[in-house]
Amino acid sequence: MREILGRRRRLLRGDGKSELISAALTYATEWRWPVLPGVTTHPQGTSRCGCPDPECTVPGAHPFDPGLLAATTDERMVRWWWANRPAAPIILATGGKAPCAVSLPALPAAHALTALDRMGMRLGPVVASPARWAILVKPYSMEQLGELLYAKDFVPGSLRFHGEGGYIALPPSETGQGPISWQRAPLPGSASPWVPDVEAVVDAVVEALTRTGVSAPEL
């Protein structure tokens, strides 16, 4: 009996590939986030990208074929993609009705999140790669972002904004830069996770980096 129960647990837990398709379906069908498969890493080296660019700076963490415009919430399409490409990273097309993101290098991001916790700032999900962390925010327009940045005396040049026409890789993807994970995971069983406004996040991150004296290098 113990052997049968152990086997059942392994089957329910599944492997990394089944986790990918399960996660992709959750994003697309439950949270209504448009996703598509990213390009996989090069078969001759996990740090190299499978796309034609030999100097790709985000290996395995971007769309290629299909292109970003193919991102969808359609269950049948998502199932078909990952049935044919079970190891493909999950790429979120940011903007529109989907969350956008603000990202910065991992080390200053860790300091910033600690400072934000002390300030009582409420954050939603935070996606982490070994190089950068991305704070998910509500969708914003380029005009809104432009006005926000123009009003600032200083914004670290390493902050990146993933809005309409942008993308980020989602957990539990494996990319050439390493695994993608949740630094702050969505609440279990939540429908579509709550995310803050971009203004609140940018204000708080810039203030936190200034208070702590942590510079965010140009990366």
* Tokens 């991001």, residue located: 109
pLDDT of 102 > 50? The answer is yes
Note the pLDDT tens digit of each residue in 105-142. 998 899 889 888 988 889 999 999 998 999 999 999 99
User: What rounded mean pLDDT belongs to the chain?
Assistant: 83
Question: Distance between CA atoms of 93 and 37, rounded to whole angstroms?
Answer: 11
pLDDT of 219 > 70? The answer is no
- Greater confidence (65 vs 140) lies with 140
pLDDT of 44 > 70? The answer is no
- Greater confidence (40 vs 44) lies with 40
Cβ pair 93, 31 in contact under 8 A: no
pLDDT of 53 > 70? The answer is yes
- Greater confidence (180 vs 158) lies with 180
Q: For residue 5, what pLDDT is reported?
A: 35
pLDDT of 9 > 90? The answer is no
H-state helical runs in 33-151: 75-84, 106-119, 142-150
Mean pLDDT of 64-91: 93
Question: Distance between CA atoms of 189 and 35, rounded to whole angstroms?
Answer: 20
What contacts 105, CB < 8 A, 6 or more positions away? 131, 132, 133, 158, 216, 217, 219
Looking at the chain, the whole-number percentage of residues with pLDDT higher than 90 is 47
Q: Which of 48-52, 60-64, 102-106 is the most confident on average?
A: 102-106
Q: Which helix (H) or strand (E) holds 84?
A: helix 75-84
Per-residue confidence at 18, pLDDT binned at 50, 70, 90? Answer: confident
